[in-house]
Structure 1
Amino acid sequence: MRLDLRRLLPVRTLRVRLLVTSLIVVALPIALVALALEQEGRQALRSEKEAKLFALARVLDAELGPGGYDALLADLPSGTSDRGEAIRHLNRKLAPFTDRIADAAPGVGVGYYARKLDAVVTYGPSRDHSNTVGLSITPDHPGRIVMDTGEPLAAVGTLVRGPILNAMWPIIRNGEAIGYIWSNEYSAAIEKQASAIDFAAVVAGLGGLVVAFGIISLLSRRLSREVDVIVQGLARLKHDLRRPIPPLRDELGAIVEAINAMAKALLDARSLNENILASVADAIVAVDPDGRITAVNPAAEHLYGVVSTDVIGKTYRSLFASDARVDSVLLDTLATGRVHAATTIDLPRGDQTLRINATSSVLRDGDGKRIGAVVVLKDVSERERLMVQVMRADRLAALGELTAGIAHEIRNPLTSIRGFIQYLDECESLEEWRAYGPLIIRQVDSLNRIVGELLAFGRPHPPRIGTVDVRHLVEEMAFLARGKSDARIALAFEPDLPTIEADGEALKQALLNLIINAIQAIPDGGTVTVSARAADDDHVVVTVKDDGVGVAPENLDKVFDPFFSTKPSGTGLGLAMVHRIVDAHGGVITLDSKPGVGTTIEMRLPIAHREAEVTP
């Protein structure tokens, strides 16, 4: 189970956590060391006691002499075989020595045990243990193990004397264990000394903890003060990047320097951004995910008629009257994530409505998380008014050119008619009337043709939409055009050419006009190439290319103007009519020409016809 200190500590300050963590880190080794010292002390104490007791046993063994018990029993009267008398005789011989050894080592009991007699011979000090002389040890007594194995043994337990540490030494004579010597000491005395060692270890451990706590407390207090300086400095920087954190020493000083450097860089970047926003002529407004305004530049203040300090934190809709209909690309981007680019919208402002180009996008943080949206607004009301004026001027200029063209085209036939009438007014010959009458009629027909083309150009009919096979249409118009010239006409079609929705008759008129113009522009032996292909999934392109004389660069911008023509007999309404037809279908017509190389005209027509959309 994982220990969570934060749940155990009511005060979750850095200093408290440092103190608790440091104490745990310090206390654990100190406790382990104290425990190890206690165990080592106890083990050393027992080893020392065993060494002392075995030393006493070896002294007693040496005192017994090489002859052992038999040598001491040799002076018994001959014929004496009484066990009790033998034990008493050995006791008289050995008791003075065991008592002297016991007196020299207070608290220690020593004695001899004779295996043949199976009895305690002596147990010193005799004044305390004389009553044990002559007794036999129990069958499970460790002394019997010592006599059986011939190996010394130290054992703790309750024996004849009581709870003791007993060191037993075998008496080996002529390779045989004839008994054993013991030297023992009360366990209570040993435990008292061990307890003293334990107490010393505990005192040393606690002393170490107290010293460690004092040192840790001093260090943590200093570290806590320095960390508090950083924390308070960061809190100030949150509101004012111009107030750096006071310098500190060591590693924390390096951290403070890095924080101050980052704050300075952030301040510089913020100042740069503010300067950029302030200098941008377009209005910029940013909002957070809840639609509340987070940034407004001076241009936006002027556009909305507000002050940034009054609107920061308010909703974007609060910039408008409560009853105003707001079609906001900013709020749409915020809700859907869809980006708007140069979208024209109406922005209500007081008693007027401004025409605005709006571009909106999503704002994201460094991790790519959406944090709001921003919109850039450009007031194009004045520009649109100027464009209307320019377009009006262009229309007036075009009307002037159209009027001049009409006057020029009509004046020539009228002049001829007037001349013929004046001549015939003075002429009385019927033959001359018959000769000049057809000329006058041809001039009138020319006037009628010009007026008819002018009416067709000025009053176009809406296209009659139907399904048109582009390949069949091109082949049919190429066949008709071949009858008007000996020029070579080549056709090229892309496989699987789709049908389109269009006015077939209008397209025939436009295509025939283009092919005839191309034929008229090439010298004898030239080639006109007509091709059709699918440009994409939505458009078909029909191209008419010739290798004729081409169009001069200065005339390229005029070829689709009414009454502009480089042909002596042309009215200049053919290409203008073609342009009108392509526009009515929602298509695009382009012309590319180089003098002496040829001309290429391309009609790009939509496959599916769409009605023109009118945006209020």
Structure 2
Amino acid sequence: MRAISLEGKTLAVAAALAAGGAVLGVCIARQVDDGVLALLFSCALILPVTLLVIRRTMAPVSRYLQALIDGVSSLRDGDFSINLAVRRRDELGDLAAAYNSVGDILRSERQNLYQRELLLDTVIQSSPQSLVLVDDSGHVLYANTAARRRFADGRRMEGVLFETVLDACPPSLREAARAELDGLYTVEIEGSEPEILHVTRNQFRLNTREHRLYQFKSLTRELTRQELATWKKVIRVISHELNNSLAPISSLAHSGRLAVQAQRTDLLDGIFETIEERSARLRHFLENYARFAKLPQPRLERIDWSSFLPRLQRAVRFGLEGELPTEPANFDAAQIEQVLINLLKNAHESGSPADAVRLAVQQLDDGQFLIRVMDRGPGMSETVLASALLPFYSTKPEGTGLGLTLCREITEAHGGRVALANRAEGGLEVRLWLPMAHSGAV
């Protein structure tokens, strides 16, 4: 409880000094007949006393104010540990109590914030996704445990240029991290199985500076499970198709035997015609799968882009984007043409406007050719993106699920690779990387 205000204390001291001065002046005036001289004597005596009293009175106030200044400076520097002793029962005591209350609140908020940051960091560090935060100068600000294991063999990456870190990574991982579009990428590391990564990049502004967050999620296990489920599905499909064709053929063969025994040769033409039709349908069904399973090795030849693409435009409509490379390519023209026709037809069937279906060819610095097929359809969901390249996976009611898989197989047989990604402004983009020289086959 406040006893007396600081203003009251000051007025009391001033009143006491004034009264003392007046009494001293009267006493001196009685001893000295000269009033002016008495006034001078009284002033000479009272001024030192006044200064001494004011100094002793203001000394605690000065110490309190200095303590408050030091405390506020500590708050400014982020040190919330200082408390002030509340020994006064005036405005300065109230101010010290208010300062202590603010310090308690800030300490509590900092502790809560620290606990939340610790929890968030624990969650991020435990995440199987590789997370890398990069500032506008390209330096790594943060990398979780999974990212350090993937890119730096467990070493810290903070403060290092991300490009420098990528230079020491396998080429396929480096290309996936440097690619401009989000999507699925196959990463091949020597001595281990190929890994399928879903790579995303998010750009945002923090403290007026641009930052980029990279996320690398491994989908190998999920895709392996999906692939196993797909193979089970195709076995069911083939079994169903075989049963649908073999059962009628068996029945018709029995009917033919009965017709021969009954000497009803007039029924044999219809029976044989139906058996032939069923056999042809079964043969066509099996040929489609055999063509996928027995993809021939590519027959490489030098291909000039300026003659290859106009020929392709006569088969399917698309617009060219950008300049064509002057350097000729080296691939199987028939197989790559089949790949591009499949992709361009998919682009038209996606619901994209016909004039928005585009194709671009670019020669990269490392000598590869990058072919991009783009549309303005609805794109693909994350689930479809993760499964689109798997055999027999299709979202079309009458689809076989072999189109995109065949495209991938042909491209990889040329030593290249395929990636799918949604476009930022809407639509899908399929990217094909083809090396200048053939580097292997499947």
TM-score range normalised by the length of the shorter chain: 0.3 to 0.5
TM-score by length of 1: 0.34
Name the one with the larger strand percent.
Answer: 1
Give the structure with higher Rg (CA).
1
- Give the structure-2-normalised TM-score: 0.46
